[in-house]
Protein backbone atom coordinates (compact mmCIF):
# COMPACT_ATOMS: atom_id res chain seq x y z
CA UNK A 1 0.00 0.00 0.00
CA UNK A 2 0.99 3.64 -0.55
CA UNK A 3 3.80 2.77 -2.97
CA UNK A 4 2.60 5.60 -5.23
CA UNK A 5 1.50 8.09 -2.62
CA UNK A 6 1.76 11.67 -3.87
CA UNK A 7 2.12 10.63 -7.51
CA UNK A 8 -0.14 11.70 -10.38
CA UNK A 9 -0.41 9.04 -13.06
CA UNK A 10 -1.85 9.41 -16.54
CA UNK A 11 -2.80 6.10 -18.16
CA UNK A 12 -3.80 6.22 -21.83
CA UNK A 13 -6.49 3.93 -23.23
CA UNK A 14 -7.56 3.20 -19.68
CA UNK A 15 -11.34 3.10 -19.96
CA UNK A 16 -11.17 -0.69 -19.90
CA UNK A 17 -8.82 -3.68 -20.07
CA UNK A 18 -5.22 -3.49 -18.91
CA UNK A 19 -5.33 0.29 -18.55
CA UNK A 20 -8.36 0.21 -16.25
CA UNK A 21 -6.72 -2.41 -14.03
CA UNK A 22 -3.51 -0.36 -13.87
CA UNK A 23 -5.61 2.65 -12.82
CA UNK A 24 -7.23 0.55 -10.07
CA UNK A 25 -3.93 -0.69 -8.62
CA UNK A 26 -2.29 2.76 -8.94
CA UNK A 27 -5.19 4.34 -7.05
CA UNK A 28 -4.99 1.68 -4.33
CA UNK A 29 -1.30 2.48 -4.01
CA UNK A 30 -2.11 6.14 -3.35
CA UNK A 31 -1.70 7.75 -6.80
CA UNK A 32 -4.07 10.33 -8.20
CA UNK A 33 -5.17 8.75 -11.47
CA UNK A 34 -5.95 10.39 -14.79
CA UNK A 35 -7.81 8.17 -17.23
CA UNK A 36 -7.42 8.90 -20.93
CA UNK A 37 -9.43 7.23 -23.65
CA UNK A 38 -11.18 7.85 -26.96
CA UNK A 39 -14.30 6.62 -25.20
CA UNK A 40 -14.88 9.44 -22.71
CA UNK A 41 -18.08 8.02 -21.17
CA UNK A 42 -16.30 4.79 -20.21
CA UNK A 43 -13.18 6.73 -19.16
CA UNK A 44 -15.29 8.86 -16.79
CA UNK A 45 -16.83 5.74 -15.26
CA UNK A 46 -13.40 4.25 -14.58
CA UNK A 47 -12.06 7.55 -13.22
CA UNK A 48 -15.04 8.04 -10.92
CA UNK A 49 -14.58 4.54 -9.45
CA UNK A 50 -11.05 5.41 -8.37
CA UNK A 51 -11.43 9.09 -7.48
CA UNK A 52 -9.57 10.29 -10.55
CA UNK A 53 -10.08 12.50 -13.59
CA UNK A 54 -10.89 11.61 -17.19
CA UNK A 55 -9.73 13.22 -20.42
CA UNK A 56 -10.73 12.30 -23.95
CA UNK A 57 -7.99 12.40 -26.55
CA UNK A 58 -6.84 10.42 -29.56
CA UNK A 59 -3.21 9.57 -28.80
CA UNK A 60 -2.45 9.23 -32.51
CA UNK A 61 -3.16 12.97 -33.02
CA UNK A 62 -0.28 15.11 -31.70
CA UNK A 63 -2.44 18.26 -31.53
CA UNK A 64 -5.03 16.45 -29.46
CA UNK A 65 -2.33 15.06 -27.16
CA UNK A 66 -0.81 18.51 -26.59
CA UNK A 67 -4.29 19.93 -25.90
CA UNK A 68 -4.92 17.22 -23.28
CA UNK A 69 -1.63 17.90 -21.48
CA UNK A 70 -2.38 21.65 -21.49
CA UNK A 71 -5.83 21.01 -20.04
CA UNK A 72 -4.36 18.78 -17.34
CA UNK A 73 -1.80 21.48 -16.47
CA UNK A 74 -4.49 24.17 -16.44
CA UNK A 75 -6.25 22.12 -13.76
CA UNK A 76 -3.08 22.31 -11.63
CA UNK A 77 -2.18 18.65 -12.01
CA UNK A 78 1.43 17.59 -12.62
CA UNK A 79 1.68 14.20 -14.25
CA UNK A 80 4.78 12.38 -13.00
CA UNK A 81 3.92 8.85 -14.14
CA UNK A 82 2.87 8.22 -17.73
CA UNK A 83 1.63 4.84 -18.92
CA UNK A 84 1.44 4.69 -22.72
CA UNK A 85 -1.13 1.91 -22.88
CA UNK A 86 -3.66 2.89 -25.57
CA UNK A 87 -3.75 0.37 -28.36
CA UNK A 88 -5.71 -1.52 -30.97
CA UNK A 89 -5.53 -5.07 -32.29
CA UNK A 90 -6.68 -4.16 -35.79
CA UNK A 91 -9.68 -6.49 -35.40
CA UNK A 92 -11.94 -3.73 -34.00
CA UNK A 93 -15.07 -3.28 -36.09
CA UNK A 94 -13.81 -5.80 -38.67
CA UNK A 95 -16.62 -8.10 -39.77
CA UNK A 96 -13.93 -10.48 -41.05
CA UNK A 97 -12.27 -10.68 -37.62
CA UNK A 98 -13.35 -14.26 -36.90
CA UNK A 99 -12.31 -15.32 -40.37
CA UNK A 100 -8.89 -13.72 -39.96
CA UNK A 101 -8.29 -15.43 -36.62
CA UNK A 102 -9.38 -18.74 -38.15
CA UNK A 103 -6.85 -18.28 -40.94
CA UNK A 104 -4.04 -17.63 -38.43
CA UNK A 105 -4.96 -20.85 -36.61
CA UNK A 106 -5.01 -22.76 -39.91
CA UNK A 107 -1.56 -21.43 -40.85
CA UNK A 108 -0.14 -22.31 -37.41
CA UNK A 109 -1.64 -25.81 -37.56
CA UNK A 110 -0.26 -26.37 -41.05
CA UNK A 111 3.20 -25.27 -39.84
CA UNK A 112 3.00 -27.70 -36.88
CA UNK A 113 2.18 -30.54 -39.30
CA UNK A 114 4.91 -29.42 -41.73
CA UNK A 115 2.29 -28.85 -44.45
CA UNK A 116 1.98 -26.00 -46.94
CA UNK A 117 -0.99 -23.80 -45.85
CA UNK A 118 -3.88 -23.88 -48.28
CA UNK A 119 -4.48 -20.12 -47.92
CA UNK A 120 -2.45 -17.11 -49.04
CA UNK A 121 -0.11 -15.35 -46.58
CA UNK A 122 -2.10 -12.68 -44.65
CA UNK A 123 0.27 -9.88 -45.76
CA UNK A 124 -1.46 -10.01 -49.16
CA UNK A 125 -4.67 -8.77 -47.52
CA UNK A 126 -3.00 -6.06 -45.38
CA UNK A 127 -3.94 -2.54 -46.52
CA UNK A 128 -1.88 0.67 -46.39
CA UNK A 129 -4.56 2.25 -44.19
CA UNK A 130 -4.54 -0.58 -41.64
CA UNK A 131 -0.72 -0.53 -41.51
CA UNK A 132 -0.60 3.25 -40.98
CA UNK A 133 -3.34 3.26 -38.34
CA UNK A 134 -1.61 0.55 -36.30
CA UNK A 135 1.67 2.48 -36.25
CA UNK A 136 -0.14 5.76 -35.61
CA UNK A 137 -1.97 4.59 -32.49
CA UNK A 138 0.82 2.55 -30.89
CA UNK A 139 4.10 4.09 -31.99
CA UNK A 140 3.15 7.70 -32.81
CA UNK A 141 0.85 7.74 -29.77
CA UNK A 142 3.68 6.64 -27.46
CA UNK A 143 6.01 9.25 -28.97
CA UNK A 144 3.44 12.12 -28.86
CA UNK A 145 2.46 11.43 -25.24
CA UNK A 146 6.07 10.94 -24.07
CA UNK A 147 7.12 14.24 -25.65
CA UNK A 148 4.21 16.12 -24.12
CA UNK A 149 4.87 14.46 -20.74
CA UNK A 150 8.51 15.58 -20.70
CA UNK A 151 7.56 19.07 -21.89
CA UNK A 152 5.10 19.46 -19.03
CA UNK A 153 7.31 18.14 -16.21
CA UNK A 154 8.26 20.62 -13.56
CA UNK A 155 11.78 21.87 -14.15
CA UNK A 156 13.10 22.01 -10.59
CA UNK A 157 13.95 18.32 -10.16
CA UNK A 158 12.31 15.79 -7.90
CA UNK A 159 13.09 13.62 -4.90
CA UNK A 160 14.19 10.05 -5.76
CA UNK A 161 10.91 8.71 -4.33
CA UNK A 162 8.94 10.76 -6.86
CA UNK A 163 11.25 10.42 -9.85
CA UNK A 164 9.15 10.68 -13.03
CA UNK A 165 8.54 7.41 -14.82
CA UNK A 166 7.29 6.43 -18.25
CA UNK A 167 5.92 2.94 -18.84
CA UNK A 168 5.28 1.88 -22.44
CA UNK A 169 2.99 -1.02 -23.30
CA UNK A 170 4.85 -3.33 -25.65
CA UNK A 171 3.96 -6.95 -26.28
CA UNK A 172 5.66 -10.31 -26.64
CA UNK A 173 4.73 -9.81 -30.31
CA UNK A 174 7.35 -7.03 -30.48
CA UNK A 175 10.14 -9.57 -30.09
CA UNK A 176 8.64 -12.94 -31.05
CA UNK A 177 6.73 -11.72 -34.11
CA UNK A 178 3.38 -13.23 -35.00
CA UNK A 179 2.05 -14.52 -38.30
CA UNK A 180 -0.72 -12.32 -39.69
CA UNK A 181 0.03 -9.35 -37.43
CA UNK A 182 2.97 -7.60 -39.08
CA UNK A 183 1.82 -4.05 -38.33
CA UNK A 184 1.10 -4.84 -34.66
CA UNK A 185 4.48 -6.57 -34.23
CA UNK A 186 6.33 -3.74 -36.00
CA UNK A 187 4.58 -1.12 -33.84
CA UNK A 188 5.38 -2.99 -30.62
CA UNK A 189 9.01 -3.58 -31.67
CA UNK A 190 9.24 0.17 -32.38
CA UNK A 191 7.93 0.91 -28.90
CA UNK A 192 10.68 -1.24 -27.35
CA UNK A 193 13.32 0.64 -29.37
CA UNK A 194 11.85 4.01 -28.39
CA UNK A 195 11.81 2.88 -24.74
CA UNK A 196 15.54 2.12 -24.78
CA UNK A 197 16.40 5.34 -26.61
CA UNK A 198 14.37 7.53 -24.26
CA UNK A 199 15.73 5.68 -21.21
CA UNK A 200 19.26 6.70 -22.21
CA UNK A 201 18.24 10.24 -23.18
CA UNK A 202 16.20 10.95 -20.06
CA UNK A 203 18.31 9.21 -17.38
CA UNK A 204 20.45 12.36 -16.87
CA UNK A 205 17.19 14.20 -16.16
CA UNK A 206 16.21 11.55 -13.59
CA UNK A 207 13.34 10.21 -15.63
CA UNK A 208 13.05 6.42 -15.91
CA UNK A 209 11.57 4.80 -19.02
CA UNK A 210 10.61 1.13 -19.17
CA UNK A 211 8.30 -1.16 -21.09
CA UNK A 212 5.96 -4.00 -20.25
CA UNK A 213 5.60 -6.74 -22.84
CA UNK A 214 2.52 -8.74 -21.82
CA UNK A 215 1.78 -12.19 -23.09
CA UNK A 216 -1.78 -13.01 -24.10
CA UNK A 217 -4.16 -11.53 -21.51
CA UNK A 218 -7.95 -11.91 -21.21
CA UNK A 219 -9.42 -8.52 -22.24
CA UNK A 220 -11.93 -7.24 -24.79
CA UNK A 221 -9.01 -6.93 -27.20
CA UNK A 222 -8.24 -10.65 -27.17
CA UNK A 223 -11.81 -12.00 -26.88
CA UNK A 224 -12.21 -12.24 -30.71
CA UNK A 225 -9.13 -14.51 -30.67
CA UNK A 226 -10.82 -17.18 -28.51
CA UNK A 227 -10.28 -19.81 -31.16
CA UNK A 228 -6.52 -19.44 -30.65
CA UNK A 229 -6.64 -19.85 -26.85
CA UNK A 230 -6.20 -23.65 -26.67
CA UNK A 231 -3.11 -23.40 -28.91
CA UNK A 232 -1.72 -20.49 -26.86
CA UNK A 233 -2.32 -22.28 -23.56
CA UNK A 234 -0.58 -25.37 -24.89
CA UNK A 235 2.44 -23.20 -25.79
CA UNK A 236 2.52 -21.55 -22.33
CA UNK A 237 4.54 -23.28 -19.57
CA UNK A 238 2.12 -21.96 -16.92
CA UNK A 239 -0.77 -23.36 -18.98
CA UNK A 240 -3.02 -20.30 -18.98
CA UNK A 241 -3.59 -16.87 -20.44
CA UNK A 242 -2.90 -13.88 -18.20
CA UNK A 243 -5.35 -11.64 -16.34
CA UNK A 244 -5.16 -7.81 -16.36
CA UNK A 245 -3.89 -7.86 -12.76
CA UNK A 246 -0.78 -9.78 -13.90
CA UNK A 247 0.11 -6.65 -15.88
CA UNK A 248 -1.11 -4.04 -13.40
CA UNK A 249 1.36 -5.21 -10.73
CA UNK A 250 4.23 -4.94 -13.20
CA UNK A 251 3.19 -1.33 -13.84
CA UNK A 252 3.00 -0.60 -10.09
CA UNK A 253 6.54 -1.93 -9.66
CA UNK A 254 7.98 0.05 -12.59
CA UNK A 255 6.31 3.26 -11.41
CA UNK A 256 7.41 2.84 -7.78
CA UNK A 257 10.58 3.77 -5.88
CA UNK A 258 11.35 0.03 -5.70
CA UNK A 259 12.34 0.25 -9.38
CA UNK A 260 14.71 3.21 -8.84
CA UNK A 261 17.64 1.43 -10.60
CA UNK A 262 15.51 0.07 -13.44
CA UNK A 263 15.45 1.92 -16.74
CA UNK A 264 15.42 0.90 -20.41
CA UNK A 265 14.08 -2.54 -19.45
CA UNK A 266 11.23 -4.68 -20.70
CA UNK A 267 9.31 -6.64 -18.07
CA UNK A 268 7.33 -9.43 -19.66
CA UNK A 269 4.61 -11.17 -17.64
CA UNK A 270 3.67 -13.94 -20.07
CA UNK A 271 3.45 -17.25 -18.20
CA UNK A 272 6.71 -18.36 -19.83
CA UNK A 273 5.36 -18.16 -23.41
CA UNK A 274 8.44 -16.12 -24.34
CA UNK A 275 11.54 -16.17 -22.15
CA UNK A 276 13.84 -13.46 -23.46
CA UNK A 277 13.20 -9.86 -24.39
Ligand X SMILES: NC(=O)c1ccc[n+]([C@@H]2O[C@H](COP(=O)([O-])OP(=O)(O)OC[C@H]3O[C@@H](n4cnc5c(N)ncnc54)[C@H](O)[C@@H]3O)[C@@H](O)[C@H]2O)c1
Using alpha carbons, select from 80, 225, 230 the residue that is nearest to residue 160.
Answer: 80
Among 8, 46, 85, 265, binds ligand X (CB under 6 A): 85
Q: Does 16 bind ligand X (CB under 6 A)?
A: yes
137 binds ligand X (CB under 6 A): yes
Nearer to ligand X, 206 or 245 (CB): 245
- The residue from 184, 216, 257, 274 that is catalytic is 184
CB 138, CB 87: distance < 8 Å:
yes
**Contact residue for ligand X among 11, 18, 91, 153 (CB under 6 A):** 18
Long-range contacts of 32-36 (CB under 8 A, 24+ apart): 32/7, 32/8, 32/77, 33/9, 34/8, 34/9, 34/10, 34/72, 34/77, 34/79, 35/11, 36/10, 36/11, 36/12, 36/68, 36/86
Query: Does residue 50 carry a catalytic annotation?
Result: no
CA atoms of 212 and 43, how far apart (whole Å): 22
Q: How far is the CB of 26 from ligand X (least distance, A)?
A: 15
Identify which of residues 157 and 193 has a Cβ nearer to ligand X in the complex.
Answer: 193
Stretch that binds ligand X, among 11-19, 97-105, 107-115, 256-264 (CB under 6 A): 11-19
Query: Per CB under 6 A, does 195 bind ligand X?
Result: no
Residue 169's beta-bridge partner residues?
A: 212
The set of catalytic residues is 184
The residues of the shown chain that bind ligand X, judged by CB under 6 A, are 12-13, 15-19, 36-39, 58-60, 85-88, 137, 141, 169, 171, 214, 216-217, 219-222
Amino acid sequence: MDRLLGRTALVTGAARGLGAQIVKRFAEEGAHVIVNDLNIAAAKETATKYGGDAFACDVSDSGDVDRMFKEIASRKMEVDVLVNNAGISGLEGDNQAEERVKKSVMIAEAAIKGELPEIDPPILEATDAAWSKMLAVHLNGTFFCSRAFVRNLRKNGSKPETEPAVINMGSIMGTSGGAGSGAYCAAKAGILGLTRSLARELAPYQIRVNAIAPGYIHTDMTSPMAEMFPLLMAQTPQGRLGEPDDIAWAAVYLASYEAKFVTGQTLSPNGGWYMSQ
